[in-house]
Structure 1
Amino acid sequence: MSQANETAASVVTEFFIVGFPGLLPKYYSLMAALLFCIYIAVITGNSLIVILFVIERSLHKLYIILLSLSFSDIGFCTVALPKVISRYWFNDGYIGFYVCLFQRQLIHYFGTLNSLIMVIMALDRYLAICYPLRYPVLMTNRTMRLLIGFSWVTAMISPTISSMQTVTLPFCGPNMIAQCFCDSQSMNQLACADVSLQNRISYGVAMFVLLVPFSFIIFSYASILVSVLRIANAQGRMKTFSTSATQLTIIIIYYVPRFVVYSSSNIPNTQMNSSHKIALVMFYSLLPPLVNPFIYCIRIK
């Protein structure tokens, strides 16, 4: 069948967000309330960073990174949570085909953007601790703005390529999204066509977006650890190590579970229970935006 005929065969006009498949109806309101509280906490915490940045213009350039991270976290949760909250609070889980596609685009966009921002943050800390004398020259305000702007633009490339592939697929039957929001894996599973090529491309792009930044971050923090161990002042060594260790923990929570989820769907004999998979996705999607304001703002003097 030609691609034009396959595209014409699409009859699905809307999808239904399933959320957590095993959740009993009597817990729907509780789940909606929990997700709503998380959403409000994310918006409030990250908005405080934005307000702080606007009020105090003399802040260190690191706060330019935190500002971008806050906007990205707010954007992700605003795209991901309202529909699943509505699904559990008002039993309204239906989402239009193109709205779902748009949500999927933004979900992967903000995920990629966060990854790039964390690379810039790791680079900034690496230069500041390992090359303190050259740091003011290497990482100027202009350089920081260029890196952040580059991240916001290039983060759109991989989700756009994947979305262009998805929109050509025929959807002619099942419309139940086995996830709390629209994403590549969930949508591809519902296509009534061979999506093995799309899955391989999506997996390859995901691994590139995850592993390349993560490898650099691990390298930078390993170098930071070596530099910290050389610090003669025990108090300064402990302070720097404590801050870096906390940040590295959140970074590991961000990257490692994502690798597990993507690999479980693309590597033979590594299938994961759908309920456990969805719970893990929500864990690594919501925990970093929730705790980032405390880790990066409150702990940094």
Structure 2
Amino acid sequence: MFYTNVTRIKHFFILGFPGLSPEYYGTVSFLLFVLFLVIAVGNIFILVFVKCERSLQKPTYLIFCHLALTDLAFGTVTLPKIISKYWFDDSIISFYGCFAQMYFVHFIGATHSFILMVMALDRFIAVCTPLRYTALVTNATVSVFCGISWLMPVSWMVGIVLDALTLPFCRSNIIVQCYCDHIAITALGCENVREVQVIAFGLAMFSLLVPLGFIILSYFVIIIVVSRMSSSEGRLRTLSTCTPQLLITFLYYMPRCFVYLANNVGFTFSVPIRIVVVMLYSLLPAAVNPIIYCFKTKDIKQNLKKKFFVRKINISTKT
């Protein structure tokens, strides 16, 4: 435990999961390491597979690649340090290292949210104006929109970090979380904390609610358009093309909305439960999304079956 009463500290102490007995450190570090491997292998596989398969180099799968890149980046930014804490008893992170981690945590989260909005726009155009889809949605236009999704949060995330850096830190330097985030860091400040947190919260809500609002509106229109189709087979086929996007969006937004709503209605979690919940909704989607891409997306599933089937035939022929 480290405490300080000076305005400039040299390092922070990552608390991790409060109250966890040392006898479980090995198990926790192993589980987190397996989670990191699943995230890394799954999302790298999606990136490489789409890159290598020319038939998958379409706008929808390009969006999946951007989502896979954000999932891979988030796991890489957050998991190694907490794994190191429980595996090597290394809980210390440098002052500026903590702020750098905070920047990337929130930057990647905001980017992921805006890319989900691009994904909803892709489905909206595909369902509502199918005859103009190939003209309106190309790899070039998707690359521009996804590029904007990456670039847009850069400026205000820099501002949030610089704003937090102006705080004098005169309390504990213990980060009550598994990684450095804005709330955990600014809670340790002793002046102007509320003002800094309100500004950051407003920008976080913008990054979360603007894409969510567009996604809800677009799928509301999609449901209306699909319900007006005369063929039940056509309705099912159209809805099936939206299934992966709906599952990915649901996994990302629902836990966050639940936590925010619970806090607003006065339902509070204990610190250990809150940390576990944050870790689950931050990292589990990154591990599950590649499975959704593979088993709920028709083209990817067919390409995987084709490769597996051809390989199986080749092996059988040789034997």
Distance 2:51 2:178 in 1: 34
The letter of the residue matching 1:275 is P
Q: Which runs of 5+ in 2 are unaligned?
A: 300-319
The one-letter amino acid of 1:49's match is: I
Q: Which moved more, 1:91-100 or 1:172-181?
A: 172-181
Residue equivalent to 2:106: 108
Deviation by residue 1:260-301 (Cα, 9 ceiling, x = unmatched): 545667x58454321121111111111211111121233212
Larger deviation: 35-44 or 222-231?
222-231
Q: Give 1:64-213 correspondences, 5 Å limit.
A: 64-213=62-211
Distance 1:24 1:175, change over 3 A: same
Quick one: which amino acid aligns to residue 104 of structure 1? M
Is contact 2:120-2:215 (8 Å) kept? yes
Classify the secondary structure of the residue corresponding to 1:133: helix
Paired residues for 1:1-301 under 5 Å: 9-59=6-56, 60-242=58-240, 244-245=242-243, 247-261=245-259, 269-300=266-297, 301=299
Residues of 1 paired with 2:260 and 2:187: CA distance? 14
TM-score, normalised with respect to structure 2:
0.86
Question: Is the contact between residue 40 and residue 72 of structure 2 (CA under 8 Å) also seen in structure 1?
Answer: yes
Q: RMSD of the alignment, in Å?
A: 2.0
Once residues 57 and 89 of structure 1 are traced to their aligned partners in structure 2, the CA distance between those partners, rounded to angstroms, is 42
* Contact 2:12–2:92, Cα closer than 8 Å, also in 1: yes
**8 Å CA contact retained: 2:107, 2:153:** yes
Instruction: Provide the rounded CA distance (Å) in 2 between the counterparts of 1:246 and 1:57.
Output: 21
Amino acid at match of 2:271: S
Could you tell me which runs of 5 or more consecutive residues in structure 1 were left unpaired when the two chains were aligned.
1-7
Which secondary structure does the structure 1 equivalent of 2:54 belong to? Answer: coil
Residues 53-62 or 170-179, more deviating? 53-62
> Per the alignment, in what secondary structure is the counterpart of residue 11 of structure 1?
coil
Q: Which amino acid aligns with 1:225?
A: I
Residues 210, 259 of structure 1: 8 Å contact kept: no
Distance 2:93 2:292 in 1: 35
Q: Which amino acid aligns with 2:220?
A: A
User: How many residue pairs get matched?
Assistant: 293
- SS of 1:155 mapped into structure 2: helix
Larger radius of gyration: 2
Deviates more, 1:39-48 or 1:132-141: 132-141
**Contact 2:120/2:245 (8 A) holds in 1:** no
Mapped to 2, the partners of 1:141 and 1:242 lie a distance apart of 22
Deviation track 1:24-80 (CA, whole Å, cap 9, x = no partner) reads 221111111111111101111111111112212342221111111111111110000
SS in 2 for 1:156: helix
Between the two proteins, what is the percent identity of the paired residues? 42
The amino acid across from 2:41 in the alignment is: T
Structure 1, 211-220 or 136-145: larger mean CA deviation: 136-145
Q: 1:144 to 1:157 in 2, by over 3 A?
A: same
Q: Distance in 1 between matches of 2:71 and 2:151?
A: 16
SS at match of 2:12: strand
